Amino acid sequence: MFRIWAVRPEWAVCPLFLVYVSCLGEDIAGRVRDIASRVAASYGLEIFDVQYRREASGMVLRIRIDRPGSKATVDDSVTVDECAKVSRDLSAILDVDDVVPTTQYTLEVSSPGLDRPLTRAEDYQRFAGRRAKLVMREKIDGQGYFKGQLGGVEDGPVKVVVIEGEDGRTHRVPLDVITRANLEVDF
């Protein structure tokens, strides 16, 4: 049985519109990534992440830049001056090319930080030897998360992240089971 509800038009919600807005945000982030990659490369940097999303303060375009091939040590990390230069250059290009359709948005340019997220297999390989925390969606060796020293990635039918846990045991975690991972800062 189908029911038809009489709803005032201003209360109506169109699921297609919601999907369109979501896709629009992804499209903007992709176009911004292309432009930001060129700007970052001019300073010897690369794009780590681009997000375009609505937050409490309004629309935010968040770009995280990184130094390619670095081990993310304090000495090698992206500086505030480099963030400012990329922000200034990128802001000018975005304004001229009118890439972001809203008239007001906040542009944030920063580094991933010393406790950066690990999102790709290359990140686990790049930071082998560093301390990290991995959170899994299912238990591995009876645990839902591991803290320890990264041992890199083993290739095979399934990519596996190797981590030597705080318990001294070596654990092998399938990459697709990891829901969140971050480097841990050694003090």
- Per residue in 55-79, pLDDT (tens digit) is 998 889 999 999 887 555 667 789 9
| Encoded amino acid at 14, one letter | C
Instruction: Give the confidence band of 11 by pLDDT, cuts at 50, 70, 90.
Output: very low
pLDDT score, position 76 = 78
- Please give the Cα distance from 171 to 113 (Å, whole number): 26
* Share in percent of the chain as helix, strand, coil (round to 5): 30, 35, 35
**What's the pLDDT tens digit per position in 99-145?**
887 768 899 999 998 899 998 888 899 899 999 999 999 999 999 99
DSSP 79: P
Pairing mode, strands 58-66 and 106-110: parallel
Average pLDDT over residues 158-183: 93
**Rg of the chain, C-alpha, whole Å:** 21
> For residue 184, what pLDDT is reported?
92
